[in-house]
A and B are shown apart, each in its own frame.
Chain A
């Protein structure tokens, strides 16, 4: 393993040196800001080869870090990829530039339903281009449950005592409960939120733990029968243990979308549009999909995917799965404070 790493390092260094001598420097540059490990590096090289536009690529770990770096203004970013709520914030703050997606050659590869989901934070589909998305659902061990799971109800009906892992995050945990009770996950009604809290408090003795990153591992290791996880995690869990299954419950769930925007500071809108269009092209989108394995909104990629991946609800949720799903848009400060209070009450119980 180590040897491979060294070899790869040498190879990279070699490519770097050679590249430095051989090619002529691009005249135009785009500064692209994305999460780490969220794009196949080959894609960037290919873009420069095909268009002659150089890419300065910057990475961040979380939407918050990305936003902090962006607003510090130290680097002028042309294109930014982030989570729905962060994109919403940036659009509201006037940081995004309108892009004409209809004139793009390949933007039509993005399925209509994803444009519709995007409207939750970009009502006219003027700013944000969907990149990857995912759902939250239940990852469970099929050998430890009596019947296939299709409802959030299994988490609350007391039949799996001490065998449930919940998410240690306010929005995700309340989202599940609100959806189960038939409310919108973006509700700001205190009565509905209190009702959700009551249910969570009653559920707490059955919960083995509230976890974030380890939720999946506990199911893989057989310590718990089921866990609430993000779909990307579920897909990886599946790789470790064949008996695991993932479901987006019928009551609906949260769908998150990471999208690209062109920033206000971008002076070369044409180059930026070219880059976004390039990302939608089938071969490029496939490359990125095979690098990341999150759900892709690119219908052309989905159509040519392996049967197994296309039928995996963690990779390709069906329209039925998505029917009751909502994008999380609630950012009102009073509601955020209420959530914090309710969360402490849950933990104090």
Chain B
């Protein structure tokens, strides 16, 4: 029973940094400026401007997740085929950028994509007309994919590495061609990894605002930007908190529906 003491720091951590903030946010969300109870802040997500920002965020997050999967899956397969030493080094290279603050990396993208930036300079050298990517949703997408890609590659790679080689050999012995092996063995067994990748990419993509601020030139409005404005510029914490709670609920409900079946089947938990 003594072991219980070991969990004290975590309990303090969870209470102090998860539960208390959630309670404070909820308290602000359900009250108005005169501290009277209201549903208004929660329902504000349905107002046209907020709804539009929410849909835009959904579209961006969905696109970003899809692109990440399309890029990460082949990368994970290639990684699996590497020898151990090379594998470690490649993963090291993948993780390396994460050692640097992500805002700095996004600022670097701003430089790369800007009108007289590095990309247009290089395009000019090979005689291609400059691209007007800066401050568009495409720039936002590039930044997000760049930032979140490792969070997709690593869990998929882990899941694929864990697949027992015997299973693949058994499938081959029983006459499956490589396409069938992939469809019937590798892909289903990599699903848990992919799902945790989806959670780790979709949720931050859905709620981020800094990337949109930097690469969108203040012209793109994600739901995260609206929440930020309510907290920082408008000083309307009640509305900001209400929108945050609605967003949190939407994300939780959405993910729960998508992931529930799969988790029950496999008995793995993702989050």
Contact = CB atoms under 8 A, between A and B. Distances in A.
Chain B interface size band reads 20 to 34
B225 interface: yes
B115 A223 contact: yes
Contact of A347 (B135, B221, B230, B234): B221
A343 interface: yes
A348 B221 contact: yes
Nearest to A170: B233
A67 to B, nearest CB: 13
B52 A211 contact: no
A133 to B, nearest CB: 24
Interface string B196-238: 0000000000000000000001111100011001100110100
A222 B115 CA distance: 8
A2 interface: no
Contacts of A210: 217-219
Given A209-B135, A223-B114, A340 B217 contact: no
A344 B228 CA distance: 12
Nearest to A173: B218
Contact of A209 (B217, B230, B236): B217
A31 B5 CA distance: 48
A325 B16 CA distance: 49
Nearest to A221: B116
A208 B217 CA distance: 7
Name the residue in A170, A207, A208 with the highest tally of chain B Cβ atoms < 10 Å from its Cβ.
A208
A218 B116 CA distance: 10
Given A170-B233, A344-B49, A348-B53, A223 B116 contact: yes
Given A223-B114, A347-B225, A207 B53 contact: no
A340 B233 contact: yes
Contact of A211 (B115, B117, B218, B221): B218
B218 to A, nearest CB: 3
A188 B234 CA distance: 17
Interface string A311-349: 000000000000000000000000011001001110110
B49 A222 contact: no
Interface string B41-76: 000000001001100000000000000000000000
A343 B217 CA distance: 15
B52 A348 contact: yes
Contacts of B134: 208-209, 223
A218 B220 CA distance: 19
Nearest to A167: B218
Interface string A180-210: 0000000000000000000000001001111
A343 B116 contact: no
Contacts of B229: 340, 343-344
Contacts of B236: 337, 340
A210 B52 CA distance: 20
A168 interface: yes
Contacts of A337: 234, 236
Given A222-B116, A223-B114, A337-B234, A344 B226 contact: yes
Contacts of B135: 208-209
A170 B221 CA distance: 15
B12 interface: no
A347 B225 CA distance: 10
A151 interface: no
B212 to A, nearest CB: 10
22 contacts: A162-B132, A168-B218, A208-B115, A208-B135, A208-B217, A209-B219, A210-B217, A210-B219, A211-B217, A221-B114, A221-B116, A223-B116, A336-B234, A337-B234, A337-B236, A340-B229, A340-B230, A344-B221, A344-B226, A345-B49, A348-B52, A348-B221
Interface of B: 49, 52-53, 114-117, 132, 134-135, 217-221, 225-226, 229-230, 233-234, 236
Closest 9 pairs (CB-CB, A-B):
A209-B217, A210-B218, A340-B234, A347-B221, A168-B218, A223-B115, A348-B49, A209-B135, A344-B49
Given A208-B135, A209-B219, A223-B114, 16 more contacts: A208-B115, A210-B217, A211-B217, A211-B218, A218-B114, A221-B114, A223-B117, A340-B229, A340-B236, A343-B229, A344-B221, A344-B226, A345-B49, A347-B218, A347-B219, A347-B221
